Amino acid sequence: MDSTEHATKEYLLAGGRLTCLEATALHGCVHLASLVHSLRGAGVIVKSRLVTYAAVVERLRKNGATLVPPLNLPIRDITFTEYWISR
């Protein structure tokens, strides 16, 4: 496991929620699905749901990152899968 995957795993274990876009932008982890698969294989209960692109952009902003999607992109209609660890 490289440092980006380790940081992403620690974020999830601390109760954070992430999409692939957030994992890449905030932690440099481009293999979130692989990490989730690995966690599930180790017996960790990882839950998921769909969230809008607009919600992801807002969360990124709250975490200090800036993402400006193209004006014609329907960010309220596009969804990402969000993952978190069940407690």
Q: Give CA–CA dist 87/30, Å, rounded.
A: 25
**Neighbour-count burial of 73, counting CB atoms closer than 10 A to its CB (0-12 exposed, 13-18 middle, 19+ buried):** exposed
How confident is the model over 24-82, as pLDDT tens digits? Answer: 999 999 999 999 999 999 999 999 999 999 999 999 999 999 999 999 999 999 999 99
- Quickly count helices (H) and strands (E) in the chain: 4, 2
Confidence of residue 11 (pLDDT cuts 50, 70, 90): very high
Query: What is the average per-residue pLDDT within 3-8?
Result: 93
Task: Give the pLDDT of residue 1.
Answer: 73
pTM of the model: 0.91
Task: Give the pLDDT of residue 87.
Answer: 77
Q: Is-contact 69 30, C-beta < 8 A?
A: no
